[in-house]
Amino acid sequence: MATVGLTEAERESIERFERDVIHPSMTALVILDFWAEWCGPCKQLSPVLDKVAADYADKGVKLAKIDVEQEKLLAAQFQIKSIPTVYAIYRGQPVADLTNYRSEGQIKKALDQLLAQLKIEPEGAAPKAEIEPLIAMGEQVLAEGDAARAANIFAQVRDMAPDNVEVIGGLVRALVAAGQSAEAREILDGVPEELASKPEISRARAALEVASAPAADTSALETRLAANPDDHEARLEYASAKMAAGDRDSAADALLEIIRRDREWNEGAARQRFLQLLEAQGLEDPWSGAQRRRLSAVLFT
């Protein structure tokens, strides 16, 4: 913004704008609120913006306010014709007009979309390029069976990226595999509501539930099944015991046998447990793909 021919007050106004809006917008999304003391709608919107900015401060969002009566030059530069007027600024440029969003929910939804589209990282967050190789290392170590070491890797990465759902999910699954289910459950219970439905978190939760199936001596269950192959309750307990023991193949076989014999038994409990087993393994895992094909063969033949 040119400063030639400006008064001292106008120069100071521009300096404040560069300090409070332009510079922060180089790395953060700045909500820019044009308002005035006499504006009733501005006073209604102001506390909503304050709360949203506070809630999103750790996501890379900042709030700046411009009093159009005190900063007439800036208001003219932005061609402000009515207030409140609210823009989202990124890298010195308006990227969205938020003026028509007046509720907390509407503003947060718009910010979520902008943060995702612009790939804005929280202040101090580790770059994605730095995190991804470490996540891959943790997953490889976990796949090789060293759950304790994998948990240690994911825990260290979580210090760098506390809200990364891949890291949280990997840490929970590693803890589950290492027999530390209580710690895994505590982490899941602390996951923010907006992250709880992410696929990575759902997979981690499924892994915990599968591992939490009660262990049991299967010999008695096998005797019951030999006497009555339609004892689905015994077969479900058998599958759960195999899950707890880490024998996914036997668990899948038992659940598919229940589905083959009576797919609607107990409101589809076997199918639900079967899908949970696949989710715990990872829906993209080759084993899960093979099991889905087995399920399709049972359902459609």
Average pLDDT, the chain: 90
* pLDDT tens for each residue of 165-207: 999 999 999 999 999 999 999 999 999 888 888 899 999 999 9
- Cα separation, 42 vs 47, whole angstroms: 9
Residue in 42, 115, 174, 191 annotated catalytic: 42
User: How do residues 81-120 score in pLDDT, each as one tens digit?
Assistant: 999 999 999 988 999 999 999 999 999 999 999 988 887 7
Tens-place pLDDT, residues 31-44: 999 999 999 999 99
pLDDT score, position 141: 95
Q: Is the sign of the CA dihedral 137, 283, 251, 214 positive or negative?
A: positive
Structure tokens given for 169 = 């999910």
Point out the catalytic residue in the list 39, 89, 172, 201: 39
Tell me the per-residue pLDDT of 207-260, one tens digit each, with 9 for 90 and over. Answer: 999 988 777 789 999 999 999 999 999 999 999 999 888 899 999 999 999 999
Percent helix, strand, coil in the chain, to 5, is 65, 10, 30
Q: For residue 122, what pLDDT is reported? A: 67
Tell me: pLDDT of 125 over 70.
Answer: no
Asked if 39 is an active-site residue, the reply is yes
Q: What is the C-alpha to C-alpha distance for residues 57 and 78, in angstroms, rounded to an integer?
A: 25
At 127 the pLDDT is 60
Query: Among this protein's residues, is 119 annotated catalytic?
Result: no
Q: Helix, strand or coil for residue 93?
A: strand
In whole angstroms, give the CA distance from residue 261 to residue 256: 9
- Does position 128 have pLDDT exceeding 80, yes or no? no
